[in-house]
Amino acid sequence: MDFILAGFIEAVRLLFGGDGQTWSAVAATLKASTGSMATSLVLGIPLGFVLGYFDFPAKRQARLLVDTALALPTVFIGLVVYAFISNRGPLGEMGLLFTLPGIAIGQTILALPIVIALSATAVESMDRHLRTLLISLGAGRRQLLLSSLWEVRYGLLAAGLAAYGRVMTEVGISMMVGGNIKWHTRTITTAIALETGKGMFATGIALGLVLIGIAFAVNVCLSFLRKR
């Protein structure tokens, strides 16, 4: 047990001592996850609203496809993205392989089905009499849309939180697409896997504490928004 205690002590030293390697992984993680989550929310919430609110042909098949995408392994997503952005792939000329934007693309594919599925579920659970009430009050299409989104705001927040948690903790995409390059594309999760495998237990704990801290901060922000 002594090595665990020593690891925690060393982890605190690395974090508060401004260890460059540790904070480089933190910065890379935040950059990639912020880009992927912004894209996922911008695309996923409207698509989820359409999927949950409207009836259209092949809606059942579309929902089945989205639900199936929820179970996609991260290594499979990493493999597909790698195939497209590698030098021999159709997007190879864009130079996205072993870059943070490349990682963000893979993480967007990972998070998007989560946002769509949970947003659609939140919309489907909305009071069906709300639409009739709003129309009877003279609400236009824009007011109808905004009022419906406001009604399911907590469900949308939960969708974003679930997707963010999945993105922050994935390893396969970051490892395969980013290459785990030190000071460049090494993220928190890939650094934990690498450093722990090398016996650098303290660095792994330090980065794990950062992950916990980010998750706690996100939950605090959501709690504040709910109270507001």
Q: Domain tally for the chain? A: 1
What integer pLDDT is reported at residue 81 of this predicted model?
96
Q: How many CA atoms lie within 13 A of 222 on its CB side?
A: 17
Q: How many CA atoms lie within 13 A of 8 on its CB side?
A: 4
What integer pLDDT is reported at residue 214 of this predicted model?
81
**C-alpha distances in Å from residue 134, one per residue of 47, 214, 222:** 22, 39, 28
Q: State the CATH number of the domain containing residue 31.
A: 1.10.3720.10
Domain extent, residue 167, equals 2-227
What integer pLDDT is reported at residue 154 of this predicted model?
85
Low-confidence ranges of the chain (pLDDT < 70): 1-3, 131-132, 135, 137, 139, 225-228
**C-alpha distances in Å from residue 81, one per residue of 35, 104, 106:** 16, 10, 6
